[in-house]
Amino acid sequence: MDAIELKRKIHQTIRTFPWYETAMKQHGCLKAGEEVLTLSDLPLMTAEWLEKHYYTPHQPLSRHPGLRCYRTSGTSSGLRKAIYYSEEDELAYARIKSRIFGRFLGGSSVRTALSDMGTGHAADTAPEIFARIGLQAEAISFRLPVEMHLERLLSMRPHVLYTMPSILDSLLQAADDPTRFGIRKVILVGEAAAPSWIARSAERLGIRTTDVMDTYGSIEIGTIAYFSHEHGRYLIAEGLEAEGVRDIPMPSRGNAAALDEDESVLVLTATVREMFPAMRYVTYDVVRDFRPILVDGVWRQSFQALVRRLGPELKHGEKISVFDIEEVVFRHIGQTIVRVEVADNRLRIHIGGENPGEEKLRAISQDLQDRIPEIGRMVRNRLLEELQVLRLEEGASLEGSSIKHKKIYYN
């Protein structure tokens, strides 16, 4: 982003979000006679700023006609996050995503696609994205049981399946012979997909690992990156300026684990996003080996792998935050120790203190699933595994680890 484009982006952000000027002043960006020359001169858009000014109950954008609103997991105030898109935001999102999908599917003679997702932005826009690249696309609702998903796959035999790793796991477990689906290509979004997991899933579908493309995004930004089999790395999507930052302020209840030498936190500035303050937005996602590589004669930012999250948001099919988890646990048994384990894209909640009993643990699990209604519906329809709630003693081996003091820990 050159100086002219950066100046335009700053002015547009201040015009839409006047409080951003305060952030710049506090950061020392608007001193007399000084001019912002690079992105690094600007403040980081942290969770603290967003909770104070964007994820608020009286967000001015909620009164704007013509904006689309998408909701995701909760904040420290107990509110679900509301993220807004203008028509221009939606068009840019569709253009960028359809180009990524088009490159991956080009030359493969695919004609049909099935979207099997949860809810949210990616699910709502999937049919339009596939239509833009000339595919006949259908979607199946997460409100239907897994048996009906299998029936639809067998009757339609879509050339392309667009889904989340957690849902694909459930489909593969429930199917006798997944090769009967006739799937030629898979596009993933949602939880991080490890290469070994992708290889096993592709084998069960009877396709090559290179026939599976993992994509990474967020509801705040849209599509962030996609895995290029040609380069063996994730490439940052069009319309984004990416940085790998090692020193960031941590949000409350966030995991403050030290970064390895080749790790950094992904920070993004979107040149095509209007209704979200995407100026050095801190994703709290840790990536490995962040660096530019040459792609078709152009330098592109890339990373080797998405390692973990540092913030309070987690994934179990859909996003669920530590705030949501603690609110439910404390409502049932009062203040206690809560540890959240993340292993193989699944969550386990470990509760310390006095033994609450199996009945109460079961009630906490059910209430947690319904805290985000979409998660509860997918669990009941066997598209997601149940959220496990265990006594902390059952994870006692974790207490002796170097991360015992963290609220979130990763296997």
Which pLDDT score is estimated for 402? 30
3-state secondary structure of 408: strand
Query: What does the block give as tokens for 233?
Result: 């790395």
30-64 core/surface letters (b: 16 or more CB in 10 A; e: else): eeeeeebeebeebbbbbbebbbebbbbeebebeee
Provide the 10 A C-beta neighbour count for residue 250.
18
- Helix axis angle for 165-174 and 146-156, nearest 10°, is 80
Q: Are 279 and 381 in contact (CB under 8 A)?
A: no
Query: What does the block give as tokens for 154?
Result: 């067998």
DSSP assignment of 178-244 equals: GGGG---EEEE-SS---HHHHHHHHHHHT--GGGEEEEEEETTTEEEEEEETTTTEEEEPTTEEEEE
Which pLDDT score is estimated for 175? 95
How far apart (Å, rounded) are the C-alpha atoms in residues 23 and 252? 19
The reply to whether 3-85+234-307 and 88-219 are identical in fold is yes
For the whole model, what pTM was predicted?
0.85
186: left (phi over 0), alpha (psi -120 to 50) or beta: beta
For 22, 41, 46, 61, 404, the CA distances from 53, given in Å and listed in that order, are: 11, 21, 11, 11, 33
Q: Are 166 and 316 in contact (CB under 8 A)?
A: yes
Encoded amino acid at 347, one letter:
L
Name, in order, each residue with C-beta under 8 angstroms of 166's C-beta and a sequence gap of 6 or more: 190, 191, 315, 316, 317, 345, 346, 383, 384, 385
Strand-strand pairing, 112-116 and 212-218: unpaired
Which pLDDT score is estimated for 202? 96
| Residue closest to 160 by CA, chosen among 105, 216, 200 | 105
Q: Which position has the token pair 């684990």? A: 257
Backbone angles phi, psi at 112, to 5 degrees: -130, 150
Sequential pLDDT tens for the chain (411 residues): 888 889 899 999 999 999 999 999 898 886 654 567 789 889 999 989 999 999 998 899 999 999 999 988 766 566 778 999 999 999 999 999 999 999 999 989 999 999 998 777 888 889 999 999 999 999 998 889 999 999 999 999 999 999 999 899 999 999 999 999 999 999 999 888 888 899 999 999 999 999 999 999 999 999 999 999 999 999 999 999 999 999 888 765 555 557 889 999 999 999 999 999 999 999 999 999 999 999 999 999 999 999 888 876 777 767 777 778 888 888 888 777 788 877 666 778 888 877 778 888 888 888 888 877 778 888 888 888 888 888 876 544 444 333 233 345 444
CA 129 to chain centre: 18
CATH class of 88-219: alpha beta
CATH code linked to domain 3-85+234-307: 3.40.50.12780
Domain extents for the chain?
Answer: 3-85+234-307, 88-219, 313-410
Fold of the 313-410 domain: GMP Synthetase; Chain A, domain 3 (3.30.300)
